[in-house]
Amino acid sequence: MEPSRLFDLPHYMLEKFPKEDMLAGKINGNWKKYSTQEVIDTVNQLSAGLQKYGIQKEDKVALISGNRPEWNFIDLALLQIGAVNVPIYPTITEEDYKFIFNNAEIKLCFVSNNDLLGKVSAIKSSVPSLQEIYTIDEIPGAKNWKEVFNMGEGFDPATVEAAKASVKAGDLATIIYTSGTTGVPKGVMLSHNNIMSNVKAVSQVLPLENSDRTLSFLPLCHIFERTVFYNYVYNGCSIYYAESLDTVAENLKEVKPHYFSTVPRLLEKVYDKIMATGNGLTGTKRKLFFWAIELGDQWKPTGRSLAYDLKLNIARKLIFSKWKEALGGEVKGIITGAAALQSRLARVFNAAGIIVRQGYGMTESSPVITIDRFEDDDCMVGSVGRPIPGVEVKIDPSNGEILAKGPNVMMGYYKRPDATAETIDADGWLHTGDVGTFVDGKYLKITDRIKQLFKTSGGKYVAPQPIENKFVESPFIEQMLVTGNDQKFVGALFVPNEDQLRSFCKECGLNNSSMEEMIAQKEVLDKFQEICNDYNPNFSKIEKIKRFKLLPKVWSIENGELTPTMKVKRKVVLEKYSKEIDEIYDV
């Protein structure tokens, strides 16, 4: 049976490669594993319980939770009775919750914990359609998801099967509200076929095997990790959920995964920790460490000399083997997306024998449009690879925008035909809003976002993303944002890497008691000017960073400065730090 709807996937897995650990999550410090059959049985009973509650085809149900097996139970149980799963980020504002719940006319809501119960309870009176809130954690006085599950006890399988039969591949499966940097959230409508086409296409280019273990920690409410989950099931992989982002390092050692997906920011943090360890070494060990790093910086997928590969094999045995151990020791590959991966990181991880490949896409494309292939002779560092099977990509000659077409392109924005028409043209091409180019006629390279381009007062256009991507290669820079719209020159806001800055201050005998005090010191400002002097030659005269301000606090999702996929919300940061930006140009 070839699956055509998302809820067909567990049955396909059961038929082809049943697992004793299809899903696993931590409960009180121990891994709780669910076999493929247990997942199917749980999902079927929960579907029956939802039917008895009164959930019908096309009803919208909100799911707000971190990654855990219950997320998948609820998701699949809703999908197979034709209901629409509306997953929502736990970290968004109360106003966004209110908008999404009313816009989607949410009938029922599942939340994972007491904090989220409080958030949703606070808006319940403002959402006429919302009937009930159920929690996943057991919370005194709150209704628990198992109450719905128990409603399905002793169910007639025929009722669930009839509901499943009524769901077609082209039916709406989910509405995912984008975490856009401006305006109210837009609900992206994705059908079963949109996502299934992506799963099947990506499976043709990822070397997953049914014996592979995977670790999942990116949010399932985002289409990237959700499609990755369906992909793992389609290929018979076991899926283990990290307890939280804080426990990923520990969970990697426990699970020893073969694959996992991540965002560049997390890989950057891993690299920073490795470099901090290297900086603490002395003597021969230190020399060997930085010899290996220098060797890694020279890595390229093809055209390596025999002498280089011999040195690399030595470096892998002496130095890089420890990196693999830190990732569990059995990692075969890492997929990264949602933002640009520094080429330097791609080179050094691949040199270490840890295959890292970038993908590119957006919620509106379910999400994958391109992916860099795992074979060394078919990948390109700095690119996001080639289009996946069945997806066409072209560059708009008028403005350089990347356009995509394929079965993965969304049905449209929920209740927003105007926005849909702006994003998908009459010929079916999805306008991504990204600017890019093809290298060697086949490897897609993202160069910027159309909306992020700005013009200086001299009338020159500046693309901030390439500048930012280059500067954050410095270990001293945690985050940055390029400024200069309608100004005489280009400036920047820098958020220093606290550990690196603290070490620098200690070595120089400077005050390192707090970020606020560190960034005010002349020697620190001189250091960042030196960094600007080192990186500015990579850019044209108009693109060089002329002046900057250092900020003491890291931008975060919680404070609204980053999207849930850790992209900087430029408008928010520009408004929040308008005073500091004014000071850059007060000359």
Is residue 528 one of the residues assigned to a domain? yes
Q: How far is CA 429 from CA 101, 419, 442, 446, in A?
A: 30, 14, 19, 18
Domain, as residue range, for 536: 453-584
Residues 155 and 52 in one domain: yes
Sign of CA dihedral 203, 360, 569, 86: negative
Kindly state the average pLDDT of the residues 28-40.
95
Is residue 247 one of the residues assigned to a domain? no
Band of residue 341 on the pLDDT scale cut at 50, 70, 90: confident
Identify whether the C-beta of residue 511 lies closer than 8 Å to the C-beta of residue 382.
no
Is residue 173 one of the residues assigned to a domain? no
Give one DSSP letter per residue of 427-453, joined into a string.
T--EEEEEEEEEETTTEEEEEEEGGG-
The pairing of strands 454-455 and 461-462 is: antiparallel
Residues 36 and 96 in one domain: yes
CATH code for the domain of 393? 3.40.50.12780
Is residue 176 one of the residues assigned to a domain? no
Angle at 74 between CA 71 and CA 79, to 5 degrees: 120
Residue ending a domain, choose from 395, 417, 450? 450
Residues 116 and 43 in one domain: yes
What is the rounded distance in angstroms from the CA atom of residue 4 to the CA atom of residue 195?
Answer: 10
List, in order, residues 6 or more apart from 200 with CB less than 8 Å away: 234
Residues 130 and 144 in one domain: yes
**pLDDT tens string 263-287:** 887 888 888 888 888 888 889 999 9
Is residue 199 one of the residues assigned to a domain? no
Band of residue 456 on the pLDDT scale cut at 50, 70, 90: confident
pLDDT above 90: residue 291? yes
The two tokens of residue 162 are 């009839």
DSSP assignment, residue 92?
Answer: S
Place of tokens 């400065």: 561
The two tokens of residue 173 are 């499966």
Band of residue 224 on the pLDDT scale cut at 50, 70, 90: very high
Residues 391 and 377 in one domain: yes
**pLDDT tens string 136-167:** 999 999 999 999 999 999 999 999 999 999 99
Identify whether the C-beta of residue 45 lies closer than 8 Å to the C-beta of residue 28.
no
pLDDT above 90: residue 482? yes
pTM of the model: 0.85
What are phi and psi for residue 413, nearest 5 degrees? -90, 135
pLDDT at 183: 64
The whole-chain average pLDDT of the chain stands at 93
Identify whether the C-beta of residue 189 lies closer than 8 Å to the C-beta of residue 213.
no
pLDDT above 70: residue 186? yes
pLDDT at 273: 83
DSSP assignment, residue 317?
Answer: I
Residues 55 and 142 in one domain: yes
pLDDT at 180: 53
Closest CA to 263 of 306, 304, 218: 218
Residues 150 and 18 in one domain: yes
Residues 432 and 457 in one domain: no
Residue ending a domain, choose from 450, 467, 485? 450
Number of domains present in the structure of the chain: 3
**pLDDT tens string 72-121:** 999 999 999 999 999 999 888 888 899 999 999 999 999 999 999 999 99
Band of residue 179 on the pLDDT scale cut at 50, 70, 90: low
pLDDT at 263: 86
Residue ending a domain, choose from 450, 474, 509? 450
**pLDDT tens string 546-569:** 999 999 999 988 888 887 777 888
Is residue 255 one of the residues assigned to a domain? no
CATH code for the domain of 551? 3.30.300.30
The two tokens of residue 301 are 């997928």
Is residue 206 one of the residues assigned to a domain? no
Is residue 34 one of the residues assigned to a domain? yes
**pLDDT tens string 192-219:** 999 999 999 999 999 999 999 999 999 9
Identify whether the C-beta of residue 210 lies closer than 8 Å to the C-beta of residue 203.
no
The whole-angstrom distance between residue 90's C-alpha and the CA centroid of its chain comes to 15
Band of residue 430 on the pLDDT scale cut at 50, 70, 90: very high
Residues 18 and 160 in one domain: yes
pLDDT at 563: 78
What is the rounded distance in angstroms from the CA atom of residue 527 to the CA atom of residue 522?
Answer: 9
Whether the upstream peptide bond of residue 367 has omega within 30° of 0, thus cis, is: yes
Pick the more confident residue, 46 or 561.
46
Residues 156 and 40 in one domain: yes
Give one DSSP letter per residue of 512-570, joined into a string.
-S-HHHHHTSHHHHHHHHHHHHHHGGGS-GGGSEEEEEE-SS---TTTTSB-TT--B-H
What is the rounded distance in angstroms from the CA atom of residue 558 to the CA atom of residue 567?
Answer: 13
What is the rounded distance in angstroms from the CA atom of residue 193 to the CA atom of residue 570?
Answer: 34
Kindly state the average pLDDT of the residues 459-463.
82
With pLDDT > 90 as the criterion, what percentage of the chain qualifies? 77
pLDDT above 60: residue 220? yes
The whole-angstrom distance between residue 517's C-alpha and the CA centroid of its chain comes to 34
Residues 20 and 134 in one domain: yes
Residues 442 and 463 in one domain: no
